[in-house]
Amino acid sequence: MRSFQYERARTLGDAARLVAGADAMAIAGGTNLLDLMKLQVETPGELVDINRAGFAEIEDTDDGGLRIGALATNTATAVHPRVRSDYPVLARAILAGATQQLRNKATTGGNLCQRTRCFYFMNIDQPCNKREPGSGCGAIDGVAKLHAVLGTSDECIATYPGDMAVALSALDATVQIASVDGAERSVPVRDFHCLPGDTPWRENVLEDGEVITAVTLPAPVAGVQLYRKVRERSSYAFALVSIAAIVEMRDGVIARADLSFGGLAHKPWHEPRISDLLEGAAPSAELYDAAADLLLEDARGYGENDFKIPLARRTLHAVLAQAVEDAA
């Protein structure tokens, strides 16, 4: 690890001011950043500790939703009574990720900003366009078992590794962002992360001098909420494919279907045409297949990860069948 300056932000304004500048990074739980610093993948000149800057509360919003502070830990969120009762897909997704020790430290904002676990990104002796623009991508034609099959580019096929954001995407949550100049803005979780394109180092829409202050959930909706995570080990492993699903049945037809997918792309994947297809339709195996066709029409495997395409199809089938059964 290289030496760095350490500063502690006492307020939100402090945090935004201190993180402005190319050489500074915010640290909260540090569950991802410290690993990357030890590997010298991240080499900030200055670390800004935002743990004491406030905004850790979880509170009801005026419209019946929930506001989760950016510094609320994953554990605090997953065990919050309203998250467990009104947004169970979020509790399930968080509990499916990492381990209790990590979830006790990891925060909402940090989790959204976590980096890919691509082996080439995490090894400074390997080429990686994300870490070192122009150096090439080792994963294309390389070890790519964990890599993306949707929304890839010739520059990068890394995945966004998290679980929480997949549930937030299905719930259509919003990221609240404050800027060093005092401005505030809101970005839907579905638009927060970027596809790699020809700027794979840009993983989300945060600009220099901006910090996430909270994630807000809309008022709860009716229906069954499921999070299915398929992984190589049943605990403490990243998703090969995951699906967050909110499904409501009414009179034998699907009244609502909001789905988002993890493990498939550089961002939680949300395909609005799947909701359009499913809503108003009677459930059937053919319908689930048509949904999978929509999801996977542009899917592309890179050898080692070819299996993700049929796996995503089967997982979508299983999730929809389960949700429909539970919701009936």
- Chain residues binding other proteins by CB under 8 A are 75, 78-79, 81, 84-85, 88, 91-92, 95-96, 98-102, 235-236
Pick between residue 168 and residue 175 the one whose CB is nearest to other proteins: 168
Between 27 and 96, name the residue whose CB sits nearer to other proteins.
96
Q: What is the closest distance, in whole angstroms, from the C-beta atom of residue 89 to other proteins in the complex?
A: 10
**205 secondary structure, DSSP code:** S
Residues 6+ apart with CB under 8 A from 195: 151, 153, 265, 266, 267
Q: Minimum CB separation from other proteins for residue 306, in Å?
A: 28
Spatial strand order of the sheet with 24-27 comes to 5-8, 46-49, 24-27
**Pick 101 or 135: Cβ nearer other proteins:** 101
In angstroms, give the least distance from the CB of 91 to other proteins: 5
Question: From the CB of 121, what's the least distance to other proteins, in Å?
Answer: 22
Q: Pinpoint the alpha helices (H) of the chain.
A: 12-19, 33-38, 74-79, 81-86, 88-95, 100-105, 108-112, 164-170, 189-192, 272-278, 285-296, 308-327
236 versus 307: smaller Cβ distance to other proteins: 236
Nearest by Cα to 136 from 217, 200, 51: 200
Closest approach of other proteins to the CB of residue 222, in Å: 17
Alpha-carbon distance of 152 to 135, in angstroms, equals 17
How many angstroms separate the CA atoms of 316 and 294, rounded?
11
Q: Which amino acid is at 88?
A: P
Distance CA(266)–CA(324), nearest Å, equals: 29
Q: Which is nearer to other proteins, 19 or 245 (CB)?
A: 245
